[in-house]
Amino acid sequence: MAISKDDKVEWNTSQGTTEGHAREKRVSEFTFEGQKFNASKEEPYWIVESSKTGAKAAHKESSLTKKQ
């Protein structure tokens, strides 16, 4: 199931499962909050925003689950 901008998604964190929204898809190498990510068309990353805290993070698309 493909993820699109603004889809509701969930992902695992050390505190448990977090819900939020997919905000921006990245398909090339990028730096986010000082950390380097090797995104590609085959292994895209998404900038996600937590519904609870509003915090943003980068996650591999394969680590996200699309919610209904």
Contact 31, 37 (CB under 8 A): yes
User: HSE of 43 in the Cβ direction (CA atoms, 13 Å)?
Assistant: 9
Does the residue 36 lie in any domain?
A: yes
Residue 1, pLDDT > 70, answer: no
Does the residue 3 lie in any domain?
A: no
CB atoms within 10 A of CB 31: 9
Tokens 């995104």 belong to 39
Does the residue 1 lie in any domain?
A: no
- End-to-end, the C-alpha distance of the chain in Å comes to 11
11-34 pLDDT per residue, tens: 998 889 999 999 999 999 999 999
Alpha helix (H) residue ranges in the chain: none
Q: Number of folded domains in the chain?
A: 1
32: containing domain = 8-66
